[in-house]
Amino acid sequence: MAEIRQNFDNPDETRPFEKGRVEVVQVGDLEVMRATFEPGWTWSECVKPIAGGDSCQVAHKWYVVSGRMKMKMDDGTEILWRAGDVGVVPPGHDAWVEGDEPFVFIDFEGANIFAKPQS
């Protein structure tokens, strides 16, 4: 069987937005994204104008590479994500970068719709 691999330095797609970007690679039937959010990034200010809605409706399965991000779920629960964390995030949240380091994560679920206009 032939090896299937990709590299984020040569992504299939890049989606820039205010204070951030995502790079998407296709690996077999899996879309994986690397997201980089700069200090000052918030979902509500930087991605909501693109995606619409009251909160992020993308599910994530991710590994946090660097930085810190605070997330507030629609039910009021708050979570602080840090480098090294691995987690599953359901749809329905707002989020913002904390501190002066970019927040970088690898997402194995949300790449197909994150930071894209939703109908």
Q: What are the residue ranges spanned by the domains of the chain? A: 13-112
- DSSP-assigned states of every residue in 10-52: S-SEEEEETTEEEEEEEETTEEEEEEEE-TT-BHHHHTHHHH-
**21-34 tens-digit pLDDT:** 999 999 988 999 99
Of all residues in the chain, the percent with pLDDT exceeding 90 is: 88
Confidence bin at 119 (pLDDT 50/70/90): low
Position 15 scores a pLDDT of: 96
Residue with tokens 């197909």: 112
Query: Among the CATH numbers 1.20.58.100, 2.40.160.40, 2.60.120.10, 3.30.200.20, which is that of 13-112?
Result: 2.60.120.10
Other CB atoms within a 10 A radius of the CB of residue 43 amount to 22
**5-63 tens-digit pLDDT:** 899 999 999 999 999 999 999 998 899 999 999 999 999 999 999 999 999 999 999 99
Radius of gyration for the chain, computed over Cα atoms and rounded to the nearest angstrom: 14
**In which region does residue 57 sit, left (phi positive, over 0), alpha (psi from -120 to 50) or beta (all else)?**
alpha
